[in-house]
Structure 1
Amino acid sequence: MKKILLFGITFILFMLPFVYPGHSVSGETNSESEIDIGITPSEYLFDIENMKPGDWAPREIVVQNNGLKEFKYVTTVQNEGGSKKLFNELLLEIEDGNGEIYNGKLTDFKGISPRTLAPSSDEKLTFTIRFPEELGNDFQGLSSNFLIIFTAEGNNSGTDEETSGGVVGGDDSFSGGGSKLPVTATNMFTYLLIGAALVVAGGIVLLLYRIRRLDNKRV
């Protein structure tokens, strides 16, 4: 029985680096690239369809150095379509652990000053999108799409880039005051993969246990 349990634990530990590639079990980097930037979440930092005047939505993103060398990275925003009228009015705030980095219009954001990350380290940034309180009914139902781009560059050479998407839409009917919107961007697929690996591991352990019991009965 102890051998069966040991096999199950070993299988789970073996699967973790594959279902969650951003980190290894031992704490060492899985990447052999000198410059390798990673971000979490990497798909959509913002996915909001019902913002009203006065609403704001804070989101946290983790920037990781998964490479072998120290790098400096910058962050920029790129309009990807939708309503340019809404994009030009949305407000952006960026904060790190020490306080505010940027506070102004999304369209005016030209990037943050280069930030340094050592290998196997990360830092957390908070991005907040605000729907200006003074916007009127002509912004109802409009939607803006944009990319948040993270570009890393080494001291000598080599670059890497990661992006996270943003979709912000105005509610079809404005009413009442603004409020903080809940976080909707999650690592759903990562959790599903981890859950699937655990189910498979449990099934294997149960199967081996039943085989062991049958062998004992035969004896």
Structure 2
Amino acid sequence: MAFNFLTTSADSSVSSGTIAITVSPETGLFDVEDMVPGDSDAADVTVTNIGDVDCLYYISADWHAGDETSARMAALLANKLEVSVEVDTESLYTGTLAGLIDQPEAGRELSLATESEDVTFTITLPADTGSLYQDINVDFDIIFVATEAEEQED
């Protein structure tokens, strides 16, 4: 004799959260001309969690040759320019423009409770930069990517 058991679960539901951030201002973070060795420039952006769940964000630089500059020369400059990224006094990244890829490594949590924070970018042409770097133009976009924050296990 076969025995069958059937149960029904009524009124079940599943919903997904929304991961979304905004960055302000969206354009024109840096417009530096005639930078000489030792010069620095800083700019702030505000990152806001507009989703409905906590998230992590990562920062990258997408750089390319500017006007009248070859890709090879732009790569030299991108590997020479120093970039620091900070929130308050906490360093998220210190390194070259070319190395600014998916930083910070563990992501930066932006909870619903925090909602937004100011991120400061400082770009510096090191004082020891030689004449090889004259008249090189590099254009870059700063890219923010948001992902789901990992749940902490108890």
Report the TM-score, using the length of structure 1 for normalisation.
0.52
User: Could you say which residue in structure 1 is the equivalent of 2:21?
Assistant: 37
Q: Where does the alignment leave 5 or more consecutive residues of structure 1 unmatched?
A: 1-32, 157-219
Q: Secondary structure at the match of 1:142?
A: coil
Structure with greater strand share of residues: 2
Task: State the superposition RMSD in angstroms.
Answer: 2.0
Code of the aligned partner of 2:38: G
After the TM superposition, which segments of 4 or more aligned residues of structure 1 sit over 3 Å from their partners? Answer: none
Contact 1:88 1:105 in 2 (8 A): yes
User: Could you say which residue in structure 1 is the equivalent of 2:75?
Assistant: 84
Contact 2:59 2:100 in 1 (8 A): no
User: Cα distance, 1:101 vs. partner?
Assistant: 2.5
Q: Is it true that 1:146 corresponds to 2:140 in the alignment? A: yes
Q: Where does the alignment leave 5 or more consecutive residues of structure 2 unmatched?
A: 1-16, 67-73
User: Could you say which residue in structure 2 is the equivalent of 1:137?
Assistant: 131
User: Could you say which residue in structure 1 is the equivalent of 2:109?
Assistant: 116
Q: Secondary structure at the match of 1:79?
A: strand
User: Distance between the aligned counterparts of 1:125 and 1:119, measured in 2?
Assistant: 17
Contact 1:80 1:147 in 2 (8 A): no
Report the TM-score, using the length of structure 2 for normalisation.
0.72
- After TM superposition, the structure 1 = structure 2 runs for residues 12-51 of structure 1, keeping only pairs within 5 Å, are 34-51=18-35
Identity of aligned residues (%): 31
Q: Secondary structure at the match of 1:132?
A: coil
Report how many residues are paired: 124
User: Distance between the aligned counterparts of 1:155 and 1:97, measured in 2?
Assistant: 21
User: Distance between the aligned counterparts of 2:55 and 2:95, measured in 1?
Assistant: 27
User: Could you say which residue in structure 1 is the equivalent of 2:93?
Assistant: 102
User: Cα distance, 1:100 vs. partner?
Assistant: 2.2
